[in-house]
Amino acid sequence: MGLPERLAGKRVLVTGVTGFVGEALLERLLSDLPDTEVVVLVRPRAGRSGQARFAALVTKPAFAAWRERVGADEVERTLRERVTVLEGDLERMPTLPADLDIVIHCAGEVSFDPPIDTGFATNLGGVQELLRAVQDSGARPHLVHISTAYVAGLRSGHVAEGRLAHTVDWRVEQAAAQRARPAAEDASRTPEALRGFRERAEAEHVRAGAQTVSREAERHRRRWVERRLVEIGGERARVLGWTDCYTFTKALAERYLENSRDGLPLTVVRPSIIESALARPFPGWIEGFKMAEPLIIAYARGELPDFPASPDGIIDIIPVDLVVNAIIAAAATTPPADTPAYYTVCSGFRNPLLFRDLYEHVQEYFQRHPLVARNRGTVAAAEWRFAGAATVESRLRRGERFTELAGRALGYAPRSDRVRQAARDLEQLDERLSFLRRYQDLYRSYTRAELVYVDDATRALHQGLEPADAQRFGFDPACYDWHTYLQDIHIPSVTATIRGPDPSPPAARRVAPASASGPDTLAVFDLDGTLVSSTVIESYLWLRLADQNAVARGRELASLARALPGYIRAERRDRGHLIRAVYTRYAGADPDELARLVDEVAGDILLRRVKPAAIRRVREHREAGHRTVLLTGAVEVLTRPLTPLFDEIVATGLALGSDGRYTGRLTSAPLVGDARAAWLSHYAGRVGANLRASWGYADSQSDLPMLRAVGNPVAVSPDLPLYRVARRSGWPIEEWSSTPGEPRAVAAGRDERRAHAAAARVRAWRAGGGPAGRSGAGTDRVITLDPGGRR
């Protein structure tokens, strides 16, 4: 009797149908076993019901051939009459049908290095919850558990199919795993640990303010807890003889089923490394990167100069459709209730692929079909020397040390295009090294384990198939050769997504303010470094030196030079400290005289330093109907020339003494770091603005809270810390220059002339002309905050 007949009339529950193996299995059940009923467990996710997720699943490419062969009406009938969708997951199993004949458990945590509590909760706890639900239903199905060949652990030589030989108590290990997270949380909250998180956050983000530092410190703490749990899982697994937490928890799940199934027939299917399909649903079908793909891609990109594996070691790869066929054959073969069946689905025993063979196939393929890298042309295929794990580890450590030192050095470099390019190059190197580190650590145990999985029982299962089934549902690993599979099927499939038709670099990302137009939208601009090429020290000098003689200028410059190291230290600690330190130099200044100097001298200097791209961007926002806001630490008198461009200007106020002159003190704390975000939130509520639709433009790490407060942050000629955050967060990065014709990611020519004309109109305003921008716009008000926060 053939497999379709043996499974006819059976009701089969499948878990994990949205995963790689589960999806391929579902396709075979629907298309090739027409008299088998299918029950699927699908978890609601991201606001979508399990029914909706299943409906989307069967429209994917894996089911295309079946849909085309039977037609839309038959697909609809099949899903209506043969498929039952259960909403739920392995944490909260729904009530199962009482007439289940077979349960195929494909779901599980597939990451090699999950946090230990997550690995146990999914791979062991999920099996426990599934078995409980089966027993509560009253059904007595055949249990088919999909495990992995690597449950054999850290061994050498031949590994036979059968019950694992170990005495590890799953109860003890599960209880310890459940205690691991509270213990890690407690350890992360000791004064010493918390001080370390805070100091690291301060070193990285002190200029952005206390709230940002607090958030970053907590982020570091949480990441530490997760890394700690990953380390605990990996080390506990290796101590007990397994490669990682994944294989450890899968092995204990097997032992739990063996001991707790209450007489239910049990079959354990152990695939080796599952890769793309040989033939079904179509050659090369794969979803997501599995175990070998990241290494193949890295080699193709020139990012994998060597690998810590023995050239004569076996890498045991098996196509996914052979695994699915073996699962179906195993499900149709019910073992005795007291004797579980074990099948290892692998290639290493009867069709071995050595690491050297894999390397040679990959190298040969990319010699004939090299990848094309942007700005580098074709990527040469590397020569692996199989230098050994110790040599590869030494090289990796040297690279990691170099990136650490270079990163520190760049942190002290002045901002420039060259520094940002160096940061990009260093970031790419760091990503490459992180990739190598991750896969070196993950694969180290697998590459050291010189073992061969024996598949005698699986071979006997295949030989017991009817001849017609052997053609349709065969899983003999000797049925293909590696050259055909790797070079004609697998590698072309996994590299298709990274081969673009146009290797040229993408166009610069262009910000489009009009895409979110409306009066409830803010466009918030920083001044120094963003709108204008200046600093608070430069703006002070514009005013201080405007009408002094040569001797007085020399004295002032000498005094400033002596104070400069202190200003630099203040800037690195807190921008508010810098503003306070510099503005003490205004003590004794006459407000009327400063206003005159701005109108007659300093205003022209300021306008010449305004970036044309910045003026153009402000005008675009105004034309879109947005409310424009200038948020600056500059003294309010210096912003007078810019009032036509903005609906609101928030600047720093200087306190007046009883003699009517400035005291060198501020009327309120500087609006920097977290204070900018707080002010912006309050202001948006007062004017009815939508911050999610609003825009922010700034150049410095101290502006991070402001940029994070809006839905459309833009980093403008950023310093290195902001540049790194913007790159990591996917924010637009633009270069605005005060030199005509130089700004990037902006139009040139006619737009440049319009920008300079706009600057001229701003100057004309000071001479009595009408305000620039939209009709009736602009403000003659500069907001300063008194100590009580009132305007």
DSSP state of 332: T
| Predicted confidence band of residue 297 (pLDDT cuts 50, 70, 90) | confident
| Predicted confidence band of residue 588 (pLDDT cuts 50, 70, 90) | confident
Mean pLDDT on 51-76: 94
- Say which residue, 701 or 72, is predicted with more confidence: 72
DSSP per-residue codes, 14-55 = EE-TTSHHHHHHHHHHHHH-TT-EEEEEE--BTTB-HHHHHH
Run of H or E residues at 408: helix 389-411
Rg (CA), the chain: 34
Percent of the chain scored above 70 by pLDDT? 78
Question: How many residues are there in the chain?
Answer: 791
Judged against a pLDDT cut of 90, whether residue 46 lies above it is answered with no
| Predicted confidence band of residue 781 (pLDDT cuts 50, 70, 90) | very low
Residues ≥6 apart with Cβ < 8 Å to 73: none
What is Dmax (Cα atoms) for the chain? 108
* 3 state DSSP class of 452: strand
Percent of the chain scored above 90 by pLDDT? 48
Which range, of 1-5, 197-201, 499-503, 565-569, averages the lowest pLDDT? Answer: 499-503
Predicted TM-score (pTM) of this structure: 0.76
pLDDT tens-digit series, residues 97-112: 999 999 999 998 888 8
Helices (H) and strands (E) in the chain, counts: 30, 21
- Confidence at residue 671, expressed as pLDDT on a 0 to 100 scale: 77
Backbone angles phi, psi at 333, to 5 degrees: -120, 95
pLDDT tens-digit series, residues 183-236: 999 999 999 999 999 999 988 887 788 888 899 999 999 999 999 999 999 999
- Confidence at residue 749, expressed as pLDDT on a 0 to 100 scale: 37
| Predicted confidence band of residue 752 (pLDDT cuts 50, 70, 90) | very low
| Predicted confidence band of residue 748 (pLDDT cuts 50, 70, 90) | very low
Contact 683, 694 (CB under 8 A): no
Judged against a pLDDT cut of 50, whether residue 757 lies above it is answered with no
Beta strands in 311-385 (DSSP E): 317-319, 341-345, 372-373, 377-378
476: its two tokens:
């003999």
Judged against a pLDDT cut of 70, whether residue 743 lies above it is answered with no
DSSP per-residue codes, 348-365 = TTTS--BHHHHHHHHHHH
Residues ≥6 apart with Cβ < 8 Å to 423: 410, 720, 723, 724
| Predicted confidence band of residue 542 (pLDDT cuts 50, 70, 90) | low
- Confidence at residue 728, expressed as pLDDT on a 0 to 100 scale: 84
**Nearest Cα to 245, choosing from 227, 259, 271, 223?**
227
Measured CA angle at 723 (ends 722, 728), to 5 deg: 95
Which range, of 281-295, 476-490, 531-545, averages the lowest pLDDT? Answer: 531-545
Judged against a pLDDT cut of 70, whether residue 754 lies above it is answered with no
Judged against a pLDDT cut of 80, whether residue 49 lies above it is answered with yes
The one-letter amino acid at 41: L
Judged against a pLDDT cut of 80, whether residue 602 lies above it is answered with no
Q: What integer best gives the mean pLDDT of the chain?
A: 82
Mean pLDDT on 684-688: 91
| Predicted confidence band of residue 663 (pLDDT cuts 50, 70, 90) | confident
